[in-house]
Amino acid sequence: MKRNSTKNGGIFPLLIALCFALLTDLISKKWLFGREQTVIPGVLALTPVQNTGVSFGFLQGSIWAIGLSLFMLLCVMIFCIKTKPGGAFAAFIGLMLGGALGNLADRLLYGYVRDMLEILFIDFPVFNLGDVFVCLGAFLMAIYILFFDKGGQKNA
């Protein structure tokens, strides 16, 4: 059975997840970026960082960061167009696209990505909700493929 079955919602779950992730990311950056405060002592702080690298601050200052971001986004879009996934799989792609588009919007508007979430109890780069949505979508997609896809025979 193909993933583009209209029974499982077609492209609609992708669009809903994409809009949710993109709007949540952009609104959180608007409201939280620039504030510096501890949210949960010893756990979470708001620490504004201008990230000129890619996700989680990797490749800082790299001129290839925009190219890499655009290439990854283009690959996901081509995949979506070719497979027209529906159901949960489409929603996972939507989460990844929404997070990536939020960070891409920052990069195009400001020349850097606005990161502000800092985990205090481990040494981890400052990040934003766009990064969270990209990772969450990829993680859920991997779980789906490993445990529920059954070689493409079953839809979510």
Question: 149 catalytic, yes or no?
Answer: no
Beta-bridged to residue 115, according to DSSP, are 49
Using DSSP, state whether 118 is helix, strand or coil.
strand
Annotate 63-94 with DSSP letters as a single string. TTHHHHHHHHHHHHHHHHHHH---HHHHHHHH
Report residue 29 CA to chain centroid gap: 14
Q: Choosing from 25, 106, 123, 131, which is the catalytic residue? A: 131
CA 25 – CA 20 distance, rounded (Å): 8
115 part of the active site: yes
Could you list the active site residues?
115, 131
